[in-house]
Structure 1
Amino acid sequence: MTALGILYPGHFAEDDYPRIEQLLGSDIRVELIHTGIDDDAYRLPAPHSTNREERLARSVEGLRLSGAEAVVWASTGGSFTLGWEGAHEQVRALALASGMPASSTSFGFVHALGEVGARRVAVGATYPEDVAALFADFLRAGGVEVTGVHSAGVTAAAQAAAWGEAELLALAREADRAEADAVVLPDTALHTASHVTTLEEKLGKPVLTANQVTVWEALRLTDRRVNAPGLGALFTREPVVQA
């Protein structure tokens, strides 16, 4: 049994995680700890309010008791808005506080894009344009070529959490570019676990979503690879797009 620790801010799309655990169909346990949130608004510098080191440090105690082997901070905006170096500092502090390998969803996207062999990506962000631009900058700092960024202009996480498959597909299609090897949807407030394969079928390429990537990143930290086609190209044994 491998236990994965996920620190999740607020209560938006946390039910994606038991769904993902079910789709993994293996000896994987996903331990979800809520960190709380001051403000769910998508504006700068509001995402920073979710990532206070003392709050994350308090939250990891529950993960230690659960037997988690690695921890991922599941707030994309609470990571990439710090910039590449700031996000690294955050992860280092989390690893020190937890005593286990640590990462964040933002870094998970960079690693996952490498896994599926995607060099050029299109970004479909719920966030306003200024926040979405910071995510694109983060990917570029990780060596990813961003072909375009589509902003849906959503103003709060609760609004994103109310979206269904139709809205997700519209976002992915608006973002997609012919030259993009993959499409990424970075918001952990979106319910995506049940829709990844449909999105990939409609677009004909890998679609990476935040909660899916978060669990994959935790598995990567524990040196586990699980074949779960129900979670899309990222969880199949062979990448859809070859490097």
Structure 2
Amino acid sequence: MWRPDGWDVQVRLGVLTPHADVGPESELRAMAPPDVGIHAARVPFGGIRQGGVMDPTIPLAPVRAFADPPDVDDATEQLATAPVAAIAFGFTSSAYVIGADGEAAMLKRLTARAHGLPVVATCAAAVDALHTLGATRICLIDPPWFDTELDDLGRAYYQDAGFDVVFSAPCALPSGQKLIRPGDLHDWAAEHVPESAEAVVIGGNGFRAVGAIESLETTLGRPVLTANQVLLWAALRAAHTDTTQITGYGRLFTLDA
């Protein structure tokens, strides 16, 4: 008699997302099982305008500022008042700029503002996922709106974490969130991922990518990690929720966490 109304979920996850970006929550909701709720808090980001419009490349200053107080801290504190089991920081590039130590300090600060509720972040989650998969040589693919400087910072982030980055580059597709298509990403990645890479990491939470994971893994014969995929995986683990119930979005979810 009664239609599903979204109330009877087993766990709710919060996500911090740039104010005009619909990418993180769109992909998280697409991957999440019916018994997992996704609830977003919007954080001001100086690199995106009305309607989600961005410049062809995003400047580093607002990328760094996104991880700084007070905006993301205030959003975290407010989101933590909702009945969520964990909070996910849905932004890749700030970790590239501030590095792993800066990212860890940010997570410690946000966890305190969340009154001890676990807070996970994209790049730290990708590192954990790579260790879980046993991959040490990686290919890093970034969105077309990441310039070479930001991509170089991403390469350095993973190198500092102990990985051999055998290839990294911004993806040479049209620079605009609405212009990305899974098939185009699949074809570009399939052409550029070197044989020596044990895993592929696709950066950018606003980069439309999760729909291509399964096909890319079939084509490449290697695990593919994307920003929102690893973020969901880490958030579910932090919430002590089974990740293996998710299918069709990469072999990462098949592992027993």
TM-score by length of 2: 0.83
Secondary structure class of the residue paired with 1:194: helix
Give me the whole-angstrom Cα distance separating, in 1, the residues matched to 2:128 and 2:81.
Answer: 28
* 1:123-156 Cα deviation digits (max 9, x unpaired): 1112211101111111122222211112236796
Gaps of at least 5 residues in structure 2 are 1-9, 49-56
Give me the whole-angstrom Cα distance separating, in 2, the residues matched to 1:219 and 1:206.
Answer: 19
Q: Is contact 2:45–2:62 with CA below 8 Å preserved after alignment?
A: no
Q: CA deviation at 1:186?
A: 0.6
- 2:6 is matched with none
Taking the TM superposition and a 5 Å limit, the aligned residue runs for 1:126-141 are 126=143, 127-141=146-160
Tell me, yes or no, if structure 1 residue 220 matches structure 2 residue 231. Answer: no
Tell me, yes or no, if structure 1 residue 230 matches structure 2 residue 240. Answer: no
Give me the whole-angstrom Cα distance separating, in 2, the residues matched to 1:30 and 1:117.
Answer: 29
Tell me, yes or no, if structure 1 residue 82 matches structure 2 residue 101. Answer: no
Q: CA deviation at 1:50?
A: 2.1
Q: Is contact 1:124–1:171 with CA below 8 Å preserved after alignment?
A: no
Secondary structure class of the residue paired with 1:223: coil
Say if 1:52 and 1:238 are closer, same or farther in 2 by CA, change over 3 A: closer
Given candidates 141, 147, 154, the residue that maps to 1:124 is 141
Secondary structure class of the residue paired with 1:53: coil
Gaps of at least 5 residues in structure 1 are none
Say if 1:155 and 1:87 are closer, same or farther in 2 by CA, change over 3 A: farther
**Cα root mean square deviation, aligned:** 2.1
Q: Is contact 1:226–1:235 with CA below 8 Å preserved after alignment?
A: yes
Give me the whole-angstrom Cα distance separating, in 2, the residues matched to 1:206 and 1:111.
Answer: 14
Tell me, yes or no, if structure 1 residue 6 matches structure 2 residue 15. Answer: yes
Q: Which amino acid aligns with 1:15?
A: S
Tell me, yes or no, if structure 1 residue 106 matches structure 2 residue 120. Answer: no
Give me the whole-angstrom Cα distance separating, in 1, the residues matched to 2:72 and 2:247.
Answer: 32
Q: Is contact 1:193–1:231 with CA below 8 Å preserved after alignment?
A: yes
Q: Which amino acid aligns with 1:143?
A: G
Secondary structure class of the residue paired with 2:46: coil
- Bigger relative CO (Cα 8 Å, ≥ 6 apart): 1
Taking the TM superposition and a 5 Å limit, the aligned residue runs for 1:1-243 are 1-9=10-18, 10-13=20-23, 14-21=25-32, 24-25=33-34, 27-40=35-48, 41-99=57-115, 100-126=117-143, 127-152=146-171, 159-227=176-244, 228-237=246-255
Query: Which segment drifts farther, 118-127 or 162-171?
Result: 162-171
Q: CA deviation at 1:213?
A: 1.1
Q: Is contact 1:95–1:102 with CA below 8 Å preserved after alignment?
A: yes
Q: CA deviation at 1:44?
A: 2.4
Q: CA deviation at 1:174?
A: 4.3
The structure having more radius of gyration, on CA atoms, is: 2
Give me the whole-angstrom Cα distance separating, in 2, the residues matched to 1:220 and 1:160.
Answer: 29
Q: Which amino acid aligns with 2:21?
A: H
Give me the whole-angstrom Cα distance separating, in 2, the residues matched to 1:34 and 1:46.
Answer: 15
TM-score by length of 1: 0.87
Give me the whole-angstrom Cα distance separating, in 2, the residues matched to 1:92 and 1:155.
Answer: 36
Identity of aligned residues (%): 23
Q: CA deviation at 1:34?
A: 1.8
Q: Is contact 2:210–2:228 with CA below 8 Å preserved after alignment?
A: yes
Give me the whole-angstrom Cα distance separating, in 2, the residues matched to 1:70 and 1:7.
Answer: 11
* 1:61-81 Cα deviation digits (max 9, x unpaired): 442232112212110012221
